[in-house]
Structure 1
Amino acid sequence: MTEQFPILIAGGGIGGLSTAIGLAQRGQTSTVLERAPRLGEIGAGIQLGPNAFHCFDALGIGEQARAMAVYIDSLRFMDAMTAEEVARIPLDDVFRKRYKNPYGVIHRGDLHSVILKACSDNPLVDLRTSSEVVDYEQDENTVTAILANGERVRGRMLVGADGLWSNVRKRVVGNVKPRVSGHTTYRSVVPVEAMPEDLRWNAATLWAGPKCHLVHYPLSGWKLFNLVVTYHNDAPEPVAGQPVSHDEVRRGFTHIHEKAQKIIEIGKDWKLWVLCDRDPVDNWHDGRVVLLGDAAHPMMQYFAQGACMAMEDAVCLGVELEAVTGDVARAITSYVGKRHLRTARVQLQSRWIGEHIYHPAGAHAELRNTIMRNKTPEEWYQSVDWIYGGMQNNAGEMHGGKHIPA
């Protein structure tokens, strides 16, 4: 009888909607409960490793997502103090053949719109806005989501995909505040014509300097450039999307090369975020309730894997539910077992990269540059095989003839 109830999904972001469409592909009904009055995404560009494209295919949106992406030629690492290139990782045919997919960049809103349309077009997905999940109750066979307006929605399972400040996580793991990194990120998107020609590269470029770094790459069919600059200023409290002046952004980057400073000067309408993450945990579930994406494993942006990990979660959860014919308890146990160590590794290495690769100074930075300069493309690829190869390199598992990320 519980099959008559949908799977409830708290959160209508990339992770929540990916979960809904992944379930629908396997004949499972779901109800997405989003707190905002409309479904949409804020932010700017995100990077898509090959594992993201594996997910798109598994979710049935591969063609649509590929049409929205920009395919860059390389990942470039620059010294922000000298303006010299330290390393360049080619993303050419050798890379694509190795990982069965490309490396791309996309506007977060464009990606969200692709997944949202797939959900909107599927009769097995019910999308509800102004429906914040604040608590839940459960019995042996069902779970009831309690909304902020007092409404109760019953389902056979609840997926907490409600982000860093997840209400579902508070019940599952405990009401522990996120870890404030002290890193402040400023974001802007500008027309491609505003980008200086000597920086208008078809690459995801990172400039590393003492206690700061800058990133830029093209978006939306080369109509826009995404600008992201980060300063380790020991900011004490979380902030999200707050408008700031040019002067405030400049403050953390006066010590770097003038060529890198151009990136800040061309930015418009800068907004700031104080970055947060959490320590990895393995207790993602409580009976018929399970966490996914940032609710389970919020991470620093430095591996460019936040959205990718949420989509991998979504695909994995759908696969595990299908494998056990909808047995919620078994599916949840298997899903958490397959996901928590992989995501923990991304969380911890993202944190480490920010401190030890992107922000050092002096001899530490010189050593970093020397090591990076001497790496061959093959050595770079070997270092990321674990993350871009998915299950083919982690567990060797295939499901239904499709590659499913670990």
Structure 2
Amino acid sequence: MPVPPSPLHIAVVGGGIGGLAAALATARTGHRVTLVERAERFGEIGAGLQLAPNASLALDELGVLTAVRSTAVTPPRLVMMDALTGDEVTSLDLRGSAYTDRFAHPYLVTHRTDLHAALLAACQEHPGVTLRTGHTVTEAEQDGTGVRLRFAEGHPRLTADAVVAADGLHSRLRQALVGDGEPVCSRYVAFRGALPTARMTGRMSRLAASEAVMVWAGPRMHLVQYPVRRGELYNQVAVFESDHYAPDSDDWGTEAELEERFAGACDAVRDALPLVSRDRRRPLYDRAPIDTWVHGRVVLLGDAAHPMLQYLAQGACQALEDAVALGEALGHRTDPADAFTAYADRRRERAARVQTNARRFGEICHLEGMGATLRNMLLASRGPEAFDDISWVWTPAPAPLPAPVPAP
């Protein structure tokens, strides 16, 4: 990326995967970045992440793919199983020539904390990035010269040329700028976690050794399994729709409901269920796409811009794409508002399409009765090299030709 003639000071709000990637991408273009995170320490919770080739490409462009690959697993197959019958429905070969001819970068699975750690280390090593924890943004005031951030902890105000709001699903900055209320609860909940593969025996041990990504699809529920961290851990996510959802209550999506929803599953799923972590219950939310990501010198990124359900495994992937596109826009434009507009124009339509299709794929995955039978018949006709339907998700739009940077 070219070094801009007049480096900007960009503040990034949020120290998750999207925020760290945005800070790194921006600093690599020659700008100065201050990232503020409300937690007292940088860290990431959660379990596994799937990184399709569009995410691997983004990580490569950010200079951290090698670090991520050092702990990630490259699965040989992506497999959909029928959670009731235990039959294989369809699969994709992720290592064969059809895949490598079509996609230049690998499909990876990793622990969320490992990806976060790689991005954090790259930011810590970059001289253009300053990291501050314990900074909760309460207000962003902007005018024609910059943006001033105020903090709940009483820290001095931070003044920057522009701000990237990467503060997640419940983004305070989005609410201040867009004011579109709370995210939409899907009535689904996930229990997730990773367990040591050394603890696994029998069928579970054989599944882990296969290194495949397994998706067990059933009526209003599914189970996802795959190894992470060099195969030392096995990630499991059990997802189901609650019959007891109430917007003003947290007493729904319970362990008892989990057991009830999966009661009719096949032996392989029932064997796995006791090993699914019960201490990480997560209701699943998204939002409808919005047209406006840019508000003067403030721009939304990642879940703050386009929170999506996880059924296409693209939440983190799309945040990484955002970061790369943001860095490219800032590398070729001297006015931050212009750069933000170029970034949003490049990303908005694609992110919206992934958001809406994630919902649709969830509906397909959770079909019941005859709907599930027809789904299985249709998908069974596909071969392991049939990437046509998913290739648009795994292939980001090419970057537009940059406008020339005016001489200083």
- 1:71 counterpart = 2:71: no
Q: Which moved more, 1:117-126 or 1:89-98?
A: 89-98
3-state SS of 1:16 partner: helix
Q: TM-score, normalised by structure 1?
A: 0.92
Q: Which runs of 5+ in 1 are unaligned?
A: 401-406
Matched residue, 2:406: none
Q: Select which of 310, 328, 331 maps to 1:319.
A: 328
Distance in 2 between residues matched to 1:171 and 1:79, nearest whole Å = 44
Q: Verify the 8 A CA contact 2:238 2:276 in the aligned structure 1.
A: no
Q: Is the 8 A contact 1:282 1:336 kept in 2?
A: no
Match of 1:220 among 217, 225, 229: 229
Match of 2:377 in 1: 370
Q: For 1:175 and 1:66, how far apart are their aligned partners in 2?
A: 38
Aligned pairs (5 A) from 1:169-184: 169-184=174-189
Instruction: Give the match for residue 394 of structure 2.
Output: 388
Shift of 1:248: 5.3
| 2-11 vs 346-355, greater mean Cα deviation | 2-11
- CA deviation map 1:353-372 (0-9, x unaligned): 111x2111111000000010
1:147 Cα shift?
Answer: 1.3
Structure 2 CA distance for partners of 1:298 and 1:238, relative to 1, 3 Å? farther
The offset of 1:98, in angstroms, is 1.1
* Gap regions ≥5 residues in structure 2: 404-408
Q: For the aligned residues, what is the CA RMSD? A: 2.2
> More deviation in 64-73 or 147-156?
147-156
2:137 paired residue among 110, 133, 136: 133
CA contact (8 A) 1:79 1:208 kept: yes
Determine the C-alpha separation between the residues in 2 that align with 1:319 and 1:155. Answer: 19
Residue 12 in 1 paired to residue 10 in 2? no
**2:367 matched to which residue of 1?**
360
Q: Is contact 1:172-1:286 (8 Å) kept? A: yes
- Describe the shift of the 1:399–1:288 C-alpha distance in structure 2 as closer, same or farther (beyond 3 A): closer
Conserved? CA contact 2:237–2:276, under 8 Å:
no
Equivalent positions of 1:4-43 (< 5 A) are: 6-43=9-46
- Counterpart check, 1:295 vs 2:301: no
Alpha-carbon distance in structure 2 between the residues aligned to 1:267 and 1:398: 47
Q: Which moved more, 1:166-175 or 1:188-197?
A: 188-197
Shift of 1:269: 4.6
| Maintained 8 Å contact 2:192/2:238 | yes
1:328 aligns with 2:332: no
Residue 52 of structure 2: which of 44, 49, 65 is its match? 49
**Equivalent residues in 2 for 1:180-219, closer than 5 Å:** 180-195=185-200, 196-200=204-208, 201-219=210-228
Query: Which of 123, 128, 131 is matched with 2:127 structurally?
Result: 123
> Which range moved further: 54-63 or 193-202?
193-202
* Partner residue in 1 for 2:95: 92
CA–CA separation in structure 2 for the residues paired with 1:208 and 1:73: 20
Q: % of aligned pairs identical?
A: 40
Contact 1:288 1:328 in 2 (8 A): yes
SS at match of 2:181: coil
Residue 83 of structure 1 deviates from its aligned partner by 0.3
- Tell me how far 1:96 sits from its aligned partner: 2.3
1:270 offset after TM fit, Å? 3.7
Q: What is aligned with 1:273?
A: 282
Deviation for aligned residue 1:245: 8.1
How many pairs were matched up? 392
Distance 2:220 2:153 in 1: 44
Q: Tell me how far apart the structure 2 counterparts of residues 361 and 160 of structure 1 sit (CA, whole Å).
A: 39
Verify: 1:101 aligned to 2:117, yes or no: no
Q: Give how far 1:73 is off.
A: 0.4
Moved over 6 A (4+): none
CA positional deviation for 1:188? 2.0
Q: Is the 8 A contact 2:7 2:30 kept in 1?
A: no
Flag the 1:399–1:82 CA change in 2: closer, same or farther, 3 A. Answer: farther
- Contact 2:194/2:233 (CA < 8 Å) preserved in 1? yes
- SS of residue in 1 equivalent to 2:139: strand
**Any idea what the Cα deviations from partners look like across 1:27-66, whole Å, max 9, x if unmatched?**
1111001000000100000000001111111111121112
Q: Structure 1: how far apart are the matches of 2:193 and 2:153?
A: 35
CA distance in 1, matches of 2:246, 2:356: 20
Match of 1:111 among 81, 103, 115: 115
Change (3 A) 1:173 1:39: same
Residue 147, structure 1, aligned to residue 151, structure 2: yes
Report whether the alignment pairs 1:344 with 2:348: no
